[in-house]
Amino acid sequence: MAALRLLRRLLPLSGTRLVRPRSAGAPSSVPERIAEKRRAALLGGGQARIDAQHKRGKLTARERILLLLDPGSFVEYDMFVEHRCADFGMESDQNKYPGDSVVTGQGRINGRLAYVFSQDFTVFGGSLSGAHAQKICKIMDQAVMVGAPVIGLNDSGGARIQEGVESLAGYADIFLRNVLCSGVVPQISLIMGPCAGGAVYSPALTDFTFMVKDTSYLFITGPDVVKSVTNEDVTQEQLGGAKTHTAVSGVAHRAFENDVDALLNLREFFNYLPLSNRDPAPVRKCHDPSNRLVPELDTVVPMESTKAYDMVDIVHSIVDEREFFEIMPSYARNIIVGFARMNGRTVGILGNQPKVASGTAQEYGGIIRHGAKLLFAFAEATVPKITIITRKAYGGAYDVMSSKHLRGDVNYAWPTAEVAVMGAKGAVRIIFRGKETDAEAEYVNKFANPFPAAVRGFVDDIIEPSTTRIRICRDLEVLASKTQSNPWKKHANIPL
Amino acid sequence: MAASLRQMVVGAWRRPDRHLLALQCATRHSRWCLITSHTLYTAEYDPNEKTFEKLLIANRGEIACRVIKTCKKMGIKTVAIHSDVDSSAVHVKMADEAVCVGPAPTSKSYLNMDAIMEAIKKTRAQAVHPGYGFLSENKEFARRLASEGVTFIGPDTHAIQAMGDKIESKLLAKNAKVNTIPGFDGVVKDADEAVRIAREIGYPVMIKASAGGGGKGMRIAWSDEQTREGFRFSSQEAASSFGDDRLLIEKFIDNPRHIEIQVLADKHDNALWLNERECSIQRRNQKVVEEAPSTFLDPETRRAMGEQAVALAKAVKYSSAGTVEFLVDTRKNFYFLEMNTRLQVEHPITECITGLDLVQEMIRVAKGYPLRHKQADIPINGWAVECRVYAEDPYKSFGLPSIGRLSQYQEPLHVSNVRVDSGIQEGSDINIYYDPMISKLITYGSDRAEALQRMEEALDNYVIRGVTHNIALLREVIIHPRFVQGDVSTKFLPDVYPDGFKGHKLTDLEKRELLAIATSLYVAEQLRSQQFLGSPRISLAKLDLNNWELLVQLGDGTYSVTVSNNGSTFSVDVDGMKLNVTSEWNLASPLSSVTIDGTQRTIQCLSRDAAGNISIQFLGTVYKLRILTKLAAELSKYMPEKAVEDTTSILRSPMPGAVVVVSVKPGDLVSEGQEICVIEAMKMQNSLIAAKSGKVKAVHCKAGETVGEGDLLVELE
């Protein structure tokens, strides 16, 4: 019933019964038919299915859009589109739903343009028909044309089986656009229900994949198929739930408690992103002084070189208003990644958490290739790059983490920094086989400090940690006009 | 039994011995009121009066900082000592020189006499100020200093010894005609004898180890059976903690006040009493709120107590500052409790009302100068209140210690007539090795009402993040009608909060104010989310953002609130009542000054997130609210209720590594923040701590074992 109230708020429908017309008697006038179609479109699969959706703890496609976008800003496209399947009785009026199983259009998030599609689970389980795919492709094409992000709210049982290959074609049409949009406009997927089979590739191709805990699943083959093939007993949640994908597989970037939390968080996340590759990253009004000293940082790195500290603490204290939108917080916990602002400007932040362990598991897991990915990304990036060495920068890790040699624009070391090719113990064992007692202290004295890097200009300055925020804000201002380009190439070949 | 056991365990964890009383303290930002606030301090510093060239402070934290500040004014060079974990502590930075005297445990550093003597030799310090706790009342230390020709800033060995012994001090007091509590002190043979003594005195009686001080290990017995139990406990403690079998059994004064007299004596047989301090607000026999003067004393009683205190000081040829503690019953009968032969924690309130700098006087007296004041010169100017701000959770037994890093820290020094004695700063660690006191917050006024008003303001303006603190409790105490009327006793907290402290209880109006402030803050942030600089592509069609219909969850209630905004003023309709809320709405500032219909409030927004959760410190207490638009709230009712997984009861390894130490065993009681075990990974030692206080149910790992990420290590009940 609440859904009806909401719908009434959307369109003034007072006095009209919200029932889908079935096999009407006399033909109505065109204006009447338009109104009827609209009403039907707003009701999706009908009240019973809306109630069922709610019972699952999920919102309807339209409710989701309402929450995501600024009030009154949604402009819907293709409300009259219907599927074109004529097989298996699909052609009957009863099986035609205006708008089919997806709601598409554009609207505003905090005043900024976004294109949205929201799959409607109440219509054929949100399954993807040719028409459904066509609607999505239409907004994607327009998004690229005007330069605005595409947000997908995924809640679909999969392909529209009745349509067969038409449905498959539809998926591929979307995939192609996902690929072509990549790097042009931001693409965000929020998985809010099932997303299985070939359908999973679209979210996987987008820039960010978020999930809703307990009500969303991503997998290629479901538990039944898994059982029949490998005889494994596994639940949907274990196989492809939010926990699996945010902590184990790394397929999803973050998960939220429920639909409402997820959509509100998505609004916040959206504010960090530029609208397209032709737009600058947004600069939000900032109340946090850019010249704020952070005395806390002067003591954050423990004196004992083996004692751990939390890099997230450092991030919080440096960025505007301690706001840090962490990406993949529970995956690969030895690196922290996320968005924040410095004096209002969006910045991406990467930080090492001292939890790396070497061993066979790492090598077997392909650490070389994964490390190379990170190195590649740092080296290839042409955005302003600022690096702070807080403590240990040993060996390859020093090079990889946006070192001067990878075109770091400004590289700082804290007084606690240790930049060397390897730890003193190991180094001494190699340099002086046997008589290593004094040599270790000598090595520590010589290399376990920021000087070797500083004298060579590999770090631009050794800074008081408390001044870190001031310096980063100032440098970003200077670097705002940075121009740098990579050699012409058809495309780069990041190790995957 | 369980409760007292927990106290024992907590007590033992906090500090195994009361002499280890070490207080943490001041920040670099704490421009401390000796300098900033002239009204609190009128002492004169004569640069021609020579005392010492260099003085070592055998202490840490706020008291070390406190002493250094006076030394600076007197032109004395200072030497700090510190443990290795304290090497960048504030007192170390403040001192002219610093010497590391050992590792973190106090027995190896601040109580390490050999290392401290070495530091004195090395730095050629001529005098030592011991502060309080640690070696301040250690006669052996005083003797060693004397033998090296180093001046101990405090009384001589004889006075320390005489007053340090409960039995001897009482005897001395009796002889000096000081009122004493009827009782027995000495070796009690067995439980039967204890019962006989108790009956002679008359119940209730108090039993404790003679050598133990303060309220530590104190047992109250109302019956023979409790006497036997108390005897067993106290004699055990006497033997194990102090190596001294003697027990003290005396009349227990029900519902007493704890009032103490500050004395100051020189080496020329002059002694003064500097009025009293009321220290009745205590939890587990530790002081929380103190004030000077006491609302309870009339001039005659004050003089009688003062004169007896001076008589006692003279009887032991006392020199330096000292404190004579009394219990005062409801009919103003007062009984000598003990004499502390050191500077007290709460000395600043005496300084505020008398204008004396007690540290300066101690140094002068130690040098042999006679007192500059006569008894008639000692005034009571105005009123001073001190709150001890602790890193502890007041919702648990009025305060269980918590540890952590002060991620944000800002003392309320912009409030007038505020003095903050602290020894910490933003970024400091409150760790398990030392007392979890964050600071002493002192306010001063021409009368009590003014001092209390300032204290309210100061507490509201105190920013402490990263550790749990007791501001909520302190603020509730100082505004409680009983406290405001001066109706206090040492049982104040358990009397007023028989079911434990639950935070501030909002009146209807206060609740509306909180809702109005929180929703205004929410709208301010929503509006700010749309303010982009430069030339972003923002819709020119302006949305109607002047009216916000919100639903707010606070506690068990849901409230419908409408906010409309006009510049920096929000007009908020809460349950049909209109409130106007004005503020700067600076979303980065930890403190916000808000005016609601003419009433000024200082609030602190501790956290807020995109999902509408917001926590606000309002009137000292932290409230959690959830603010949603009407639409989001309506849709929220479809959201599934989720059973919250209790992760506080289990400890899993956050990483693969080797277990270095397991600090607990099944059955142990642990408090929140206490170390459970240490995991070493990649040569990093990670201390894993208890997420809540409780009893250890099972331990699944042992030292030396290798564990994987997510492995269950320890379960709590």
- A114-169 pLDDT tens trace: 999 999 999 999 999 999 999 999 999 999 999 999 999 999 999 998 998 999 99
Choice between A85 and B458, residue whose per-residue pLDDT is larger: B458
Contact A296 B612 (CB under 8 A): no
Distance from CA of A259 to the nearest CA of B (A): 7
**Residue B308 predicted with pLDDT over 50:** yes
| Weakest-pLDDT range from B39-48, B123-132, B142-151, B364-373 | B39-48
| Weakest-pLDDT range from A5-14, A189-198, A247-256 | A5-14
Residue A418 CA to residue A404 CA, distance in Å, equals 16
Residue A472 CA to residue A342 CA, distance in Å, equals 8
Interface test with A, best of B585, B684, B686 (most A CBs within 10 A): B684
pLDDT confidence band for B707 (50 / 70 / 90): confident
Has A158 been annotated as catalytic?
no
In the A/B pair of chains, how many CB contacts fall below 8 A?
Answer: 161
pTM: 0.86
Contact B631 A67 (CB under 8 A): yes
- What's the pLDDT at B212? 66
Distance from CA of A1 to the nearest CA of B (A): 11
- What's the pLDDT at B681? 65
Residue B483 CA to residue B557 CA, distance in Å, equals 31
pLDDT tens, position by position, A415-439: 999 998 888 777 877 887 766 567 7
Tell me the range of A271-275, A356-360, B685-689 where mean pLDDT is highest.
A271-275
Choice between B308 and B39, residue whose per-residue pLDDT is larger: B308
pLDDT confidence band for B26 (50 / 70 / 90): very low
Catalytic position from the list B290, B338, B457, B675:
B338
**Residue A383 predicted with pLDDT over 90:** yes
**Mean of the per-residue pLDDT values for chain B?**
88
pLDDT tens, position by position, A478-489: 999 999 999 999
| Weakest-pLDDT range from A10-14, A297-301, A348-352 | A10-14
pLDDT confidence band for B584 (50 / 70 / 90): very high
- What's the pLDDT at B717? 83
Residue B29 CA to residue B573 CA, distance in Å, equals 40
Residue A445 CA to residue A251 CA, distance in Å, equals 44
- What's the pLDDT at A357? 60
- What's the pLDDT at A140? 98
Candidates A255, A1, A118, A259; CA nearest to B639 is A259
Residue B89 CA to residue A43 CA, distance in Å, equals 66
pLDDT confidence band for A6 (50 / 70 / 90): very low
pLDDT tens, position by position, B603-659: 999 999 999 999 999 999 999 999 999 999 999 999 998 876 667 788 887 766 778
Candidates B561, B566, B558, B557; CA nearest to B549 is B561
Distances (CA, A) of B157 to A294, B345, B454, B461: 46, 21, 41, 43
Choice between A384 and B190, residue whose per-residue pLDDT is larger: A384
pLDDT confidence band for B215 (50 / 70 / 90): low
- What's the pLDDT at B637? 94
Contact A357 B533 (CB under 8 A): no
Chain A residues with CB under 8 Å of B635 CB are 2, 59, 63, 67, 259-260
**Mean of the per-residue pLDDT values for chain A?**
91
Average pLDDT over residues B8-34: 33
pLDDT confidence band for B48 (50 / 70 / 90): confident
Determine how β-strand A410-413 pairs with β-strand A386-389: parallel
Q: Is B1 on the interface with A (CB under 8 A)?
A: no
Here the ipTM equals 0.91
**Residue B21 predicted with pLDDT over 70:** no
pLDDT tens, position by position, B326-350: 999 888 989 999 999 999 999 999 9
Residue given tokens 């840490």 in the structure block: B60
Average pLDDT over residues A471-477: 97
pLDDT tens, position by position, A202-223: 999 999 999 999 999 999 988 9
B27-44 residues labelled b (16+ CB within 10 A) or e (exposed): bebbebbbebbebbbebe
Residue A45 CA to residue A124 CA, distance in Å, equals 8
By C-alpha distance, the chain B residue nearest A293 is: B426
Contact A308 B425 (CB under 8 A): no
What tokens appear for B26 in the block? 């001041």
Residue given tokens 């959770």 in the structure block: B393
- What's the pLDDT at B214? 55
pLDDT tens, position by position, A396-421: 889 999 999 999 999 999 999 999 88
pLDDT confidence band for B30 (50 / 70 / 90): very low
